[in-house]
Structure 1
Amino acid sequence: MRKWKRVEGGDGPRFRSALAAHEADLLSSLVSSLLGMLDDRESSAPVDELAEITGIRTGNSVPPQDDTMKRLLPDFYRPATDHPAGSGPAESLNSALRSLHEPEIIDAKRTAAQRLLATVPPAGGKFELSEDDAQAWVSAVNDVRLALGTMLEIGPDGPDRLPHEHPMAGHLDVYQWLTVLQEYLVVSLMGGAR
């Protein structure tokens, strides 16, 4: 992957880069997997008859069981301290907020992922993004990084490297590549990389 180049134009900034064919394939595969996870979560929501009548969509009221999806769709509220009444009020609040807002959050994640897939060069090579496309890339790459980081159990302290024989060693390299791709694009969006 080449660094991003910001080019100012009459219709706003454009962001140019290039991906090798294997990088474009890898990114497309990861984002497609993310879409599959989001689709599975959405399809697991119970049917709400009131939603069918009112048109107000509702989603799952319970958090995901899978750690990766928990990271992508975290609780809305975490009490700063333990409440004397127990965790019931926080769970009730999270349940209501999740049911109301999870469909919109999944839609936003899906839209960003689909926009990335629509703009990634299928066989690699040079490409150019609008500012809206670049924002979608940042969002979709971030979601893939969150998912992959959860699978790799990456916390604030690393790991920076895994032993070569570790079954996830190659995945850490992919995580780090995604981090660089996202960082350079964010810097370019902020106007710093020219």
Structure 2
Amino acid sequence: MRKWKRVEGPDGPRFRSALAAHEAALLRNLVTSVVGMLDERQAAAPADELEAITGMRTGNSTPPEDATMGRLLPDFFRPQNDHPAGSAAAESLNGALRSLHEPEIIDAKREAAQCILDTCPAEGGRFELTEDQANSWIAAVNDVRLSLGAMLDIGPDGPDRLPADHPLSGHLDVYQWLTVLQEYLVLALMGQS
């Protein structure tokens, strides 16, 4: 991956970079996998008979059981201390918020992912993004990083290295590559590239 270059133009800033063919293929495959997981989650939502009347979609009211989806779609509310009504109050609030907002969150994640699929050159090479596209890239790359981080069990003090013979050591390298890709794009957006 080449470092991101910010170019000022009459229509606003543009962000240029280039990916090798294997980098583009890897990124596209990872983004497609995340979209597939989001599609499965949305397909598992209960049918809402009132959607046709109200125009409001509802989603799942229960949190994802899968750790990866749990990182992509976390709870909305975490009590700071024990609630007098017990944990049922927090679960009820999370269920209601999740049911109301999860469809829109999934749509936004899917839209950001589609931006990568639309702008990342399939065979690698140079490309250019608008500011809105760059923000979509940051969001979608973050979703891929969250997914890999859940798989690798990366927390605040996550591993910097895994033993070479560890079955997931290559995934950690990909996670770190995505971190650099995202960081350099953020810096370019901030005008620090």
**1:175 partnered with 2:175:** yes
Aligned to 1:144: 144
Task: Specify the alignment match of 2:55 in structure 1.
Answer: 55
Cα shift readout 1:151-177 (whole Å, capped 9, x = no counterpart): 000111120000000000000000000
In structure 2, distance between residues paired with 1:84 and 1:121: 54
Alignment partners' CA distance in 2, 1:49 and 1:158? 44
Task: Find the counterpart in structure 2 of residue 17 from structure 1.
Answer: 17
Q: Percent identity?
A: 74
Structure 1 runs, 4 residues or longer, greater than 6 Å off: none
Q: CA RMSD in A?
A: 0.6
What residue in structure 2 maps to residue 153 of structure 1? 153
Q: CA offset at residue 73 of structure 1?
A: 0.3
CA distance in 2, matches of 1:157, 1:134: 28
Matched residue type, 1:127? F
Structure 1 partner of 2:186:
186
In 1, Cα distance between the equivalents of 2:53 and 2:74? 28
Inter-partner Cα distance in structure 2 for 1:23 and 1:73? 27
Q: Distance in 1 between matches of 2:109 and 2:43?
A: 15
Partners in 2 of 1:123 and 1:149 — Cα distance?
Answer: 27
1:57 deviates by 0.5
CA distance in 2, matches of 1:85, 1:53: 35
Report the Cα offset of residue 50 of structure 1.
1.5
1:1-194 → structure 2 map (5 Å cutoff): 1-193=1-193
Q: What amino acid maps onto 1:146 in structure 2?
A: L
TM-score by length of 1: 0.98
Moved more, 8-17 or 84-93: 84-93
The separation in 2 between residues aligned to 1:178 and 1:85, in whole angstroms, is 42
* Alpha-carbon separation, structure 1, partners of 2:155 and 2:78: 19
Aligned pairs, how many? 193
Give the structure-2-normalised TM-score: 0.99
* Structure 2 unpaired stretches of 5+: none
The runs of 5 or more residues in structure 1 that have no matched partner are none
Which residue identity does 2:103 align to in structure 1?
P
